[in-house]
């Protein structure tokens, strides 16, 4: 039976990527060694990092005044590194709270500086993206979460930063490479790899040159962007295997026609599933129509007394896995990242229809 993994992350990866990884795990590029045994200082691995970085630059059309970094510690580490590097203890930043991940980013900022929460949809269980707010005049950056993995909301238009010296910072962990973006609209973008880009263990940071501060001697070395810029993301032993898988995933994205083409198929795939949620008498979407994510699609039973586990087991028996909604929302969540094939979504739609008929 074909298995479709709807997990929110770590998430399904394209089959050619898994095959290439299997091969490299045994032997990398006729070296007689597994990629996991190779020094990060060796030529093939230095080349791999350069190649992966070039692919990011090409696919997202990253301007030359931005650095591309491969870091560890996940997006969660960036919750702290961003304010540590971009703020001083007298400056502040604006945050829009659109879900648990932005709440965590706010909390980390408040440990090192001050976060102004200028808008929040918490009161409405993060079912929409707030659009009315006033930015603080002297704020150094405005932080957003571009796609809210748990609640299934996504920015369709990014906010403009009012302050001339400020910039937009985005956590794009769950929608990077899902559609084209204009990198120059941002000062800094970060994303854990384990959804659209590869496995856990590596985090992509794209940061504008002028935001990399070389005078942060009070910070631990590993927490400074300039450390990683100067050492080409090899200040310490980097997660080589994770970067290899990212490189293979980016190759696969290129083979699909790049982010424009990926973006159109993600749109078609998500619209198909939303249409079934609307049509089906059993289910509904808890998310505001205009903010619905193309990546994470939560849905719930119309009738609270119905048993979620029964539908989950029904799906599971058909090879449709990991559809349980996040514990804070309940119900179901279909995460349909880039690597989810249309057949997976069709199979889920069929299961929803058969369950309704039953």
Residues that bind ligand PMP (CB under 6 A): 9, 74-76, 101, 145, 149, 171, 173-174, 192
* Two structure tokens written together for 280: 């089906």
Q: In the complex with ligand PMP, which residue's Cβ is closer, 171 or 248?
A: 171
Contacts by 246-249, CB closer than 8 A, 24 or more apart: 246/52, 246/70, 246/193, 246/197, 246/198, 246/202, 246/204, 247/48, 247/51, 247/52, 247/55, 248/16, 248/17, 248/20, 248/21, 248/198, 249/13, 249/14, 249/17, 249/196, 249/197, 249/198, 249/339
Q: In the complex with ligand PMP, which residue's Cβ is closer, 242 or 247?
A: 242
Q: In the complex with ligand PMP, which residue's Cβ is closer, 38 or 295?
A: 295
* Two structure tokens written together for 297: 């699609």
Q: How far is CA 332 from the centre of its chain?
A: 20
Q: Which residues are identified as catalytic?
A: 101, 171, 195
Q: In the complex with ligand PMP, which residue's Cβ is closer, 292 or 352?
A: 292
Q: Name the minimum Å distance from CB 76 to ligand PMP.
A: 3
Are 226 and 233 contacting, i.e. CB atoms less than 8 angstroms apart? no
Q: Name the minimum Å distance from CB 101 to ligand PMP.
A: 4
Q: In the complex with ligand PMP, which residue's Cβ is closer, 20 or 197?
A: 197
Q: Name the minimum Å distance from CB 173 to ligand PMP.
A: 4
Separation CA 93–CA 332 (nearest Å): 34
Q: Name the minimum Å distance from CB 337 to ligand PMP.
A: 11
Q: Name the minimum Å distance from CB 176 to ligand PMP.
A: 10
Instruction: Give the closest residue to 229 by CA, choosing from 41, 47, 353, 85.
Output: 85
| Closest residue to ligand PMP using C-beta atoms | 74
């Amino acid at each position: 039976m074909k298995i479709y993994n709807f997990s929110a992350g770590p998430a399904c990866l394209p089959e050619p990527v898994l095959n290439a990884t299997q091969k490299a795990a045994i032997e990398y590029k006729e070296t007689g060694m597994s990629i996991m045994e190779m020094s990060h200082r060796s030529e093939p691995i230095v080349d791999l990092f350069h190649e992966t970085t070039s692919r990011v630059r090409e696919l997202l059309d990253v301007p030359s005044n931005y650095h591309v970094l491969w870091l560890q510690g996940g997006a969660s580490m960036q919750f702290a590194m961003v304010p540590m590097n971009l703020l001083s203890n007298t400056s502040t930043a604006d945050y829009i709270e659109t879900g648990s991940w932005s709440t965590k980013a706010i909390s980390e900022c408040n440990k090192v500086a001050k976060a102004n929460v200028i808008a929040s949809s918490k009161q409405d269980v993060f079912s929409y993206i707030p659009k009315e707010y006033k930015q603080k005049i002297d704020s150094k950056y405005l932080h957003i979460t571009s796609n809210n993995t748990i609640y299934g909301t996504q920015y369709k238009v990014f906010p403009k930063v009012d302050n001339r010296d400020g910039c937009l910072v985005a956590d794009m962990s769950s929608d990077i490479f899902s559609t084209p973006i204009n990198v120059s609209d941002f000062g800094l973008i970060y994303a854990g790899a384990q959804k659209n880009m590869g496995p856990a263990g590596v985090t992509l940071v794209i940061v504008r040159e002028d935001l990399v501060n070389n005078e942060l001697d009070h910070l631990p070395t590993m927490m400074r962007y300039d450390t990683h810029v100067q050492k080409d993301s090899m200040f310490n032993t980097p997660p080589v295997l994770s970067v290899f898988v990212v490189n293979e995933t980016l190759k696969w994205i290129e083979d699909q026609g790049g982010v424009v083409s990926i973006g159109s198929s993600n749109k078609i795939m998500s619209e198909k599933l939303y249409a079934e949620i609307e049509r089906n008498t059993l289910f509904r979407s808890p998310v505001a129509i205009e903010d619905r994510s193309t990546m994470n699609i939560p849905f719930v039973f119309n009738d609270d007394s119905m048993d979620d586990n029964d539908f989950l087991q029904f799906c599971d028996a058909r090879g449709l896995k990991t559809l349980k909604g996040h514990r804070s929302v309940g119900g179901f969540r279909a995460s349909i990242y880039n690597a989810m094939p249309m057949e997976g979504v069709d199979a889920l739609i069929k299961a929803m229809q058969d369950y309704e008929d039953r």
